[in-house]
Amino acid sequence: MASRRLVQLSNEHWIVLNIKRSTVHHLQRCCVHSRIKEDLEDENFKVLNILRDKDVKRFKWEKPPDVRTLSRADCMKTDMNWTSVWPTKAPFRWGSVPLPIRQGYRKKEYKLSAGKYGNAELVKIPNFLHLTPPHIKTHCQAIKKFCTEFPSELKNREIRKANFPLEVITSDYVTCGTSIRDPRSREVTVNVDLSVLKFDEHSVTKIKKLAGDKMDEKAMTLQLKSDRCPVRKQNFDFNVYTLTALYYESQEKEDWEDEMEESDWVKYQWDKTQSKKKILKLKHRIQQINSGEKTDLASSVSKSDPSVSVVDTEDDIQSYKSAFSNLKDEGDSRETLNAYKQSVLKLLKL
């Protein structure tokens, strides 16, 4: 115990001195107090003990020792079969998982999150402890006897595409929630290769117009997707119904379709234009000049039909037809104009 006293120096400054009392001083004080107490008790006078004895022991709380028994996770071996510990879907149990898992909020950044012992945060979130590689391997071995090998003849993609033009795509989802139903599993996508349906030019043009963005013109495939029905089978039946309606509707030809003008065409049809007749006449005239016939253009055209002597399947005519059709459909661009120029030079043999 220490006491403070003020001491005045010669320059009229005050300083504070801490004077520590020795143990002898306390002993002398206790002895005097006990002697006065004995004298007063002899005179039958109750003494008021203001200074309590320091020998009285006060209660001090101590942390009890950790007497938690060993859990199942502490006794597990490293080569134990995990499928027998966690066979099916179940909430997290800290006593069965021998992993140092932590989850929870950290009050300070340098501290770790709460451990797995009694941690309710690990129970809230889903776990996939029942879908580990040993589980999947065991499940596959169990259902292997119900499966057959994939046919070796169908490993080629072209063969599968020719024999199975209808492709159905569905998805199954695994969840650890309260329900085994996932709303996304009802979606059904049907892909159809239109090349096996043997459409004519009119049917292809019409089904492109009816399908809209569901049609892939480059791959010539039709993709139908449905998720409006609550059951997967209903969505599949709806896609098949839509495909059937598109097929038969594209085969129908209305009377007004024959009356369509060139400005109403969805795709430019070179065979129905005057350009084809002029090119065939020009090709016929070139053949006459090369053969040495001396006839004027008017008489040669009037006497014979150029479509009879000139075959429109020649390479120069087909290249001109493709270039001119692309120029009409895609518009003016550097590529289309250059292709049209090269086709004209090839046709005139320049």
Count other C-beta atoms under 10 Å from residue 205's C-beta: 17
pLDDT given for residue 323 in this prediction: 85
* pTM summary value: 0.50
Report DSSP state, residue 114.
P
Q: How far apart are CA 282 and CA 310, in angstroms?
A: 10
Q: What is the pLDDT along the chain (350 residues), one digit of tens a residue?
A: 444 444 444 444 444 444 444 444 444 455 545 555 555 555 566 666 676 666 666 677 787 776 667 888 888 888 889 999 999 889 999 889 998 899 888 888 888 888 888 899 999 888 889 999 999 999 999 999 998 888 888 888 888 888 888 999 999 887 766 777 888 999 999 999 888 888 887 888 888 888 888 888 788 889 999 999 999 999 999 999 999 999 999 888 888 777 777 766 777 777 777 888 888 888 778 777 777 665 554 444 444 454 444 555 577 788 888 888 888 878 788 888 888 888 888 888 77
Write the CB contacts of 291 (distance below 8 Å, at least 6 apart in sequence): none
**DSSP designation for 184:** G
Distance CA 142, CA 134 (A): 12
| Helix, strand, coil share (%) of the chain residues, nearest 5 | 45, 10, 45
Cβ(341)–Cβ(327) below 8 Å: no
CA angle 38, 41, 43 (to 5 degrees): 120
**Distance in angstroms (rounded) separating the CA atoms of residues 281 and 275:** 10
Alpha helices in the chain, H assignment, sequence order? 23-42, 72-75, 82-85, 121-124, 133-143, 157-163, 201-211, 232-251, 274-291, 297-303, 306-309, 315-330, 334-348
Burial class (CB in 10 A: 0-12, 13-18, 19+), 345: exposed
State the DSSP H helix or E strand holding residue 31, giving kind and residue range, or none if neither: helix 23-42
Q: What is the pLDDT of residue 34?
A: 54
The Cα–Cα gap between 223 and 235 comes to: 14
Neighbours of 43 (CB within 10 A): 6
**Over the range 100-116, which residues count as b (16 or more CB within 10 Å of their CB) and which as e?**
eeebeeeeeeeeeebeb
Return the amino acid letter for 237.
D
Sign of the four-CA dihedral 151, 154, 155, 161: negative
CA distance 45 to 50: 15
DSSP string, 41-60: HHTT------S--TTSPPP-
Backbone dihedral region for residue 14 (phi beyond 0: left; psi -120 to 50: alpha; all else: beta): beta
- What is the structure's pLDDT at 313? 58
